[in-house]
A and B are shown apart, each in its own frame.
Chain A
Amino acid sequence: MSQPFRAERGGLVDRERSLRFRFDGAVYEGHPGDTLASALLANGVRVVGRSFKYHRRRGIVGAGAEEPNALVQLAVGARTEPNLRATQVELFDGLAASSQNRWPTLDFDVGAVNDVLSRFLPAGFYYKTFMWPATWWMRYEHFIRRAAGLGRAPRAADPDHYFKRFAHCDVLVVGAGPAGLTAALAAARSGARTVLVDDGAHPGGQLRREPHAVDDQPGHEWAARALEVLRGLPGTRVLTRATAFGWYDDDLVAVCERIADHLPEPGPHRPRQRVWWLRARRVVLATGALERPVVFPGNDLPGVMLASAAAGYAHEHAVQTGRSAVVFCNNDSGYAAARILHGAGVGVRAVVDARGGGGGTAARGDAQTAGAEIVTGAVVSAARGRGGVQSVTVQDHDGLHLSGSPRTLACDLLCVSGGWNPTVHLFSQAQGRLRFDAALAAFVPDAGRESVICCGAARGLWALDECLADGERAGREAAAALGYEPAAAPARTAPAPETAPTMALWEVPDGEVRRGKAFVDFQNDVTAADVRLAARENYSSVEHLKRYTTLGMGTDQGRTSNVNGLAIMAATLGRAIPEVGTTTFRPPYAPITFGAVAGMEVGRDYEPVRRTPMHDWHVAAGARMQNVGLWQRARYYPRSGESMADAVCREVRHVRETVGIVDVSTFGKIDIRGPDAAEFLERVTINRFHNLKPGRCRYHVMLREDGHVMDDGTTTRVRDDVFYMTTTTAAAGAVMSHLEYHAQAVWPELRVHLTSVSDQWGGLAIAGPRAREVLRAALDGADVGDEALPFMSSREVTIAGVRMRVFRITFSGELGYEVHMAADHALTVWEAVLDEGRGFGVEPYGTEAMAVMRIEKGHVVHAELDGRTIPADFGFDRMMRKDGDFVGRRALGREAFTDPRRRGFVGLVSRNGRPIPAGAHLVWNPTAPVPMHTYGHVTSTCYSPTLDAHIALALVEEPAKWKGRTLYAASPLKRRSTEVHITDPVFYDPEGRRARG
């Protein structure tokens, strides 16, 4: 298959091998070493996409991340990815890409009607038009959303793996062009741990795009050798296909490495991409520079390219981006491009140089070599053609206006060089200041962090010899700052041509008075007229200009447009460019995929799962599991044909009538010991602990500093100076931190040590009238009678070699015990209790039955302890220590806490047999217009099989007044309300006889 625009010789592609690929369904061929862009150009494909707003035909402009036009959708199905720059997509066999933002085809696109209507669609059209009538926004939105956005996101789950990883180094060098390579070599040879990252597949930067010679070797060969040397140095790492996309605090640089994007599929177990979080002690930025276009009418025609891109395709890929070229420039690099194009067989008609004096000696030699006419003091005032550039108009100018008579030159390629912008994104992200350098007509790095060093073209040095030497300097500087002894600098030879200075030229003169759109931002279709309109409408800040016109947004983030845009704005406002300034640079430098950001943290690895020692048993027993924080707990154990409600009611009845066991391993457990442990506990809870006898348990309540209840649980005095605290599952971590803080920072003088033993102990609770019989059977005869183990007491037993601590405490209101045993034995004990207790009818129950029983008993959990309640709300003030201080005590005197109308704890019983909605508010008349006064709210609700009624716990103002009366529990969200009778919150066994039995 022919590649009509592939030069016969040259290039760094592997001509021996051919790769077949598809673009919009047509089959083409390219070679290894091609990008999708170079391969398309080699096949003469000039129109690669439609622009965002006007749907104009667009061609390839650049050769890298700066590409505004050639955005393609790659692959199909789950691996499809939109908005990839064809200039950065490496060609592989079988690659399939399609153009974007066109319907039905690239050639015939309905959306192109926008171009015809463009005079009615100025900047800010959207803001000006769709704001009235305000109520119509919902209708507009539907259509705007359809028109917005580029490309299509995949609908299926991503089949590939993405990882992140951390790494540390002494010196991180970003960019492996001439400066980056010498910087990395200098740093690594001094012994510094060095990482070099480059976003290309084949580092070398400008050394691959232009025919340079370093140390008498071809530039790309010198670069390859330098890379080999670096890879061989110990402690040095080279990452290719890796884009440093963000700088974060303390020199943490994020790098996205595209491991398998150049392959059809990553291969089994191989990641597609990996994000590196590199912590560097010194960061050397050798990020190079990007060429700038010039604004003139017709500058978006396919065939108008950056001169460096055209030269790069010619030299690196042996691709002719046209047959007959005109070069338009304001600096010497356009002449070099002419020479390189000529070398690849492209005819160069003329070099149109805006500078009156033309280029330097070397530049003139380049034009002569190319056989190109040199036209100085002139500009390309317009490009014309259908579907691509066919001719350009060349005219003299005096800096302010065009002059003389226009002259038309036929050509199919216009190479533009408007000067160079150093790539300062990372430097700017690293809080570096920028300075406008009038001589270079560009923003260059100014003052920055001590740890961030710019070198080479990134700081405005264009000549190869300067870049090589500057990289060497930066690498040595970075290493020396860290105490490494740099090796002697090697002598390098590279050409050092005389050059003439760049002339500032952003837009061709008289652009505002002529017809034809002159584009500043190709990707967002922002014209010079749009920028001037915004300035006239008083958008005088560059940040506002960006948001109003969308200049500089999108995948290219204005790499080719920002400086031109703000220069045109400055000229319109009559201000100097430094006064206007630049927009803020933010990560990411180039688009990265959501997959890379998410890394492993998707699906099962999104967050960890905590499992109790009995987890597998629950699953095998058919339990429905429930996520409680990170824990998985058994919610209920349905039997065949049972609904959740059936199963929960059965489990509750069984515990109330017989006996059940439940896994309580998830409770937080804290070992508190030391001579001052009791004193410490009195300071962090509202309870008394000095008088608690060893072997006895106490219900404790812990407050925050602001007086609100933080958590509750039981604390057992194991020995004089050893306490064992349990916390709720949900607050275990927070309580541990709270206690650690007070022990370490508030009262460091207290001799107390805290150890989390949550995972040391598994736990099970046995509850029900026959609990003691089951326990006795399981314990093999140990005395657990009421005398030996009274209510709220504890003892340690060792049965079958397993250490256990038995607590006579209950959450269900039944006779109950908690058994805590070393976790690796917990399942053995659980099975033993079920086995030994079978004769007494023991059955497992889940968290749902536990929740129902605690509501029946009026026990509080975090639904009630929601961070807004205080002890008095639940009557806990009765157990509060009268003397001494504790965390939160002083806050309890606050006005709102003593307000007689403050809500207090009550029970609710549904009067009509209907459920009480969760979160409902208690109102007098549910049909009254909202907002209405609410007397309180429902905190927990359930169906009580014991009472055969729907019940709830609630907080209501003036509870004493409301008890015995009726309100409505109204849930506007669920559009339900239920008449409820207000009762005492303890529905079941209020005297507590069963627990003490």
Chain B
Amino acid sequence: MTEPVRRSALEGHLEPGRHGAPDGARVRLSQGRVEGVTQLQGIGDGAAAGQALAALGFTGEPAAGRAIGGADLRLLWNGPGQYLAVSSRRHEQQLSAALNEALAGTGACAVDVSHARTLLRLAGPASRDLLAKGCPLDLDVMASGDCAPTVVSHFNVLLHCDGEDAFELWVTRSFAQSFLEWLLHAGAEYGVQVTA
């Protein structure tokens, strides 16, 4: 039997269209969808990290605060020794099973969190201004490929800059609707174009 359709935390709450200031939307907001999300634990640092990541097919040691990889598998740094492993293709259980298999013997492990995080995509010339209303990091210097586990207002967010003025916001599922409401309120002065 096929798996039922996933019902995200924002189902029925992400209203496409223009929100806030009517003259020009300087922020675009949409929900991102991926297949599998896995929390990698105990990657360690230095050589141990290199070894563990090599097992996943990555060469070299990624720097703290950076994201690496592509659509099949990308790693977002999520704290010392921790990564969020995201795949747009590989299904949730298969992803964590495959990663655990690959990591066997390295001391690291993978835990499926595909349903625990909701992904929002924020883009547009005012996206940094919007985030700065709640995020104390220096967003001016965040470049494509940078990521940081941080807070935006009261919300724990894994912030990933993945383009010119474009961000992935990974937020805890149960907070997703509240976070969306915050983003729309904070973004109202810039005008927010929401797409499904």
Contact = CB atoms under 8 A, between A and B. Distances in A.
A824 B7 CA distance: 5
B140 A166 contact: no
Contacts of A133: none
Interface of B: 1-4, 6-9, 12, 20-22, 39, 41-42, 92-93, 107-109, 111-117, 129, 132-133, 135-138, 140-141, 153-155, 172-175, 177-179, 181-182, 185-186, 188-189, 191
A801 B3 contact: yes
A673 B109 contact: yes
Contact of A800 (B1, B109, B113, B154): B1
Contact of A822 (B9, B92, B138): B92
Interface residues of A, number: 52
B181 A604 contact: yes
A611 B178 contact: yes
A611 B9 contact: yes
Contacts of B22: 268
Nearest 3 interchain pairs by C-beta: A801-B3, A824-B6, A753-B41
Interface in A740-763: 751, 753-761
A755 B136 contact: no
Contacts of A800: 1, 3-4
A811 interface: no
Interface string A139-165: 000000000000000000000010111
Nearest to A674: B109
A760 B112 CA distance: 8
A206 interface: no
Given A609-B177, A753-B42, A801 B185 contact: no
Contacts of B117: 759
Nearest to A274: B133
Contacts of A82: none
Interface string A926-943: 000000000000000000
A interface, over-half SS: mixed
Contact of A166 (B1, B21, B113, B135): B135
Contacts of B154: 607-608
B136 A823 contact: no
Contacts of A759: 113, 115-117, 172-174
Nearest to B100: A673
B179 A827 contact: no
Q: Which of A168, A269, A827 has the most CB of B within 10 A?
A: A269
B4 A802 contact: yes
16 contacts: A164-B133, A166-B136, A193-B140, A269-B188, A269-B191, A600-B153, A608-B153, A608-B179, A610-B175, A612-B174, A674-B42, A753-B109, A759-B173, A803-B93, A823-B115, A823-B116
A801 B4 contact: yes
Contacts of B133: 163-166, 600
A671 B111 contact: yes
A756 B78 CA distance: 13
Contacts of B182: 600, 605, 608
B107 A751 contact: yes
Contacts of A822: 92, 114-115
Contact of B111 (A268, A608, A673, A803): A673
B20 A269 contact: yes
Given A168-B141, A279-B136, A824-B6, 9 more contacts: A163-B189, A271-B189, A608-B153, A608-B178, A612-B174, A753-B108, A757-B116, A759-B117, A759-B174
B175 A824 contact: no
Contacts of A163: 133, 186, 189
A674 B174 CA distance: 27
Contact of B113 (A271, A757, A801): A757
Contact of A277 (B136, B174, B191): B136
B105 to A, nearest CB: 11
Contacts of A824: 6-9, 115
Contact of B138 (A168, A271, A600, A674): A168
A823 B191 CA distance: 32
A631 interface: yes
A828 interface: yes
B153 to A, nearest CB: 7
A323 interface: no
B189 A760 contact: no
Contact of B4 (A235, A823, A825): A825
A166 B133 CA distance: 6
A694 to B, nearest CB: 17
Nearest to B177: A611
A168 B22 CA distance: 30
Contact of A269 (B21, B107, B129): B21
B118 to A, nearest CB: 9
A235 B129 CA distance: 14
Contacts of B109: 673-674, 753
B114 A760 contact: yes
Interface in A592-651: 600-601, 604-605, 607-613, 616, 631
Given A269-B189, A674-B109, A823-B116, A608 B175 contact: yes
Contacts of B172: 759
Interface string A798-829: 00111100000000000000000011110110
A447 interface: no
A675 to B, nearest CB: 9
Nearest to B136: A166
A845 B86 CA distance: 37
B7 A827 contact: yes
A359 to B, nearest CB: 50
Contact of A610 (B41, B140, B178, B191): B178
B186 A167 contact: no
A730 to B, nearest CB: 15
B116 A168 contact: no
A607 B175 CA distance: 11
A168 B137 CA distance: 8
B91 to A, nearest CB: 11
A536 interface: no
Nearest to B173: A759
A616 B153 contact: no
A468 to B, nearest CB: 30
Nearest to A604: B181
A825 B8 CA distance: 9
A605 B185 contact: yes
Interface in A664-691: 665, 671, 673-674
B9 A609 contact: no
B1 A825 contact: no
A74 B111 CA distance: 59
Contacts of A802: 3-4
A843 to B, nearest CB: 22
A757 B111 contact: yes
A987 B192 CA distance: 57
A193 to B, nearest CB: 7
Nearest to B3: A801
A613 B136 contact: no
Contacts of A613: 7, 9, 173
Nearest to B21: A269
Contacts of B140: 168, 193, 235
Contacts of A407: none
Contacts of B188: 161, 269
A611 B42 CA distance: 30
A636 B27 CA distance: 40
Q: Which of B4, B113, B114, B115 has the most CB of A within 10 A?
A: B115
B31 to A, nearest CB: 12
A170 to B, nearest CB: 11
A738 interface: no
Contacts of A611: 9, 174, 177-178
A758 B39 CA distance: 13
Interface in A166-181: 166-168
Contacts of B114: 760, 822
A270 interface: yes
A166 B191 CA distance: 20
A903 B137 CA distance: 50
